[in-house]
Amino acid sequence: MKILLIWPPMTVFPPDPMRPTATLPLGLAYIASALEKNNYKVTILDALASGINNKENGNGWVRTGLKDNEIKNEIKKFDPDIIAISSMFTAYSFDTYNCAKLVKEVNPNIPVIVGGAHASANPDILLTDKHIDVVINGEGEHTILDLLERFENKKDIYSVKGTTVKKGSKIFHNPPRPYIEDLDSLPFPARHLLPMDIYLQQAEQYGEYLMRQPQLGIVTSRGCPGKCVFCSIHSVWGHKWRGRSAENVVDEIEYLVNKYKIREFSFLDDNFSLDKKRTIKICDEIRRRKLDIKWCTPNGVALWTLDKELIRIMKDSGCYRLTFGIESGNYETQKFIGKVIKLERAKSLIEYANKIGLWTISTFIIGFPFENQKSIEDTIKYSINCDTDFALFYLLGPFLGTPVYEIVKKEGLLKGEQNWGYILGGGGYDTKFFTRDQLEEMQNKAFSDFLIKRQRSFINPLRIIRKINSFEDLFYSIKIGQKFLELKSKNDKNAKGDVKTFIYKR
């Protein structure tokens, strides 16, 4: 049996600021490796990466990736028995539907399976599309194997755990599939089925804030026990955290160093440091094997999992930049979010990270439905006073399947005329107290105030010299300093869109 996995192109509707880049689809690569392990013939079509230089302009939209006829030609060429399509992002789900339509145009008898975060959160919505047959909810490796075995042997597919299935006009919701407890049992992602040269080139082209090239992302754990109202990852991973063993993680790192000469890694976990002992073992194993790498945590680390000892150990193993997910500097808003952080302790950890030479980024969100002026001002003030090198200010995007979406919907704050892609792409929406335009002004002001205050820190020799322990550190500090001054200069000129550009390029 032959299976084709598709990562769709990306269509962006204005004024969504997203600039599509080719990023390795780890989820599909994990699915592919599970299929290969079970002797299925599988290939991956990354229709975004393979057509990353193709731009198609329509009525106000821009699509990046392979054209429809090119996708159909690839389907014909591989001649698959089954096709599975990734649907990760609600804002760009149009391309999932379009790919499903193209499949049926090539051969209406090919079953179409869809999985991913958007699909898991909204299976009924996807199955209203006549071109989609099955939705995989949550973790996909074992579920797709179950489905394929039934397709292959012409068995009943309507009772597979972890799926939502359409039969005629009826939709069947099956029980969830138990999570995979032993993540070490999964083979490494099938990167050999993907255009690795394109991902590495893209990282080099857009990785202004990386210390080394080439760079790749890896995932060492799945899930997070937190219950933040805005977080959509629970539709896939639930609230259960599972980690790979330290040995298994570093085996993959070592393989990628040897195979692709990777020199920097991004740990893309939702909660990398939850298990302190495991984190220390990973760091110790990197050092024991004398792997000369740098690494960072672009998705953020949970402050409540950190202490000074762990931060020091992380740095000694090659970590050079930590991203702290703080979200709000106001206690009442923190309670609404479901993520109460001791702000003084957070400030102490950030100061310590800076002191021992790490670069620090902190993320904040404004525009929660009941958030008032004082709350936003508290967040801006805290971002300046917490000593973080950089601060990112996001406008809330109420993703389907999250508690905050239900609240926003109940309060009547999502208006039909608003652009869904723009809202979820970081454009914000009208809250109880502010219009979307007012929130965007506050976002720009937050960024401006932060840059003005932090400028004094960046010209402080003591602050910078702590981060320099080698020529590599020196060159990186110069590069980051130049980027800071560039951002400051553009901000002084009120260059529209620079805040969003910084957020998406960080």
- 17-63 tens-digit pLDDT: 778 889 999 999 999 999 999 999 999 999 999 999 999 888 778 99
How far is C-alpha 436 from the chain's CA centre? 24
Structure tokens at 428: 């914000």
Residue that the structure tokens 């910084």 belong to:
502
Structure tokens at 352: 């310590």
Find all residues with CB under 8 Å of 486, minimum gap 6, and list them.
none
In this structure, the dihedral spanned by the alpha carbons of residues 338, 342, 343 and 349, taken in order and rounded to 10 degrees, is -120
Is the separation of the CB atoms in 329 and 385 below 8 Å? no
Nearest to 305 by CA among 359, 368, 356, 349: 349
DSSP 8-state secondary structure symbol assigned to residue 301: B
Angle at 253 between CA 39 and CA 346, to 5 degrees: 125
What is the block-wise mean pLDDT of the chain (506 residues), using blocks of 10 residues?
96 78 94 97 97 88 94 97 93 91 97 93 91 95 96 93 90 93 97 96 82 95 91 84 97 98 96 95 98 94 92 97 94 94 95 95 94 96 94 89 89 68 69 92 92 76 84 89 73 53 45
The reported pLDDT for the residue numbered 497 is 47
The reported pLDDT for the residue numbered 250 is 98
Could you give the CA distance from residue 181 to residue 204 in angstroms, rounded to a whole number? 35
The reported pLDDT for the residue numbered 296 is 96
The reported pLDDT for the residue numbered 461 is 73
The reported pLDDT for the residue numbered 414 is 77
SS3 of 504, please?
helix
Exposure b/e, 47-69, CB count within 10 A at least 16 = b: bbbbbbeeeeeeeeebbbbbebe
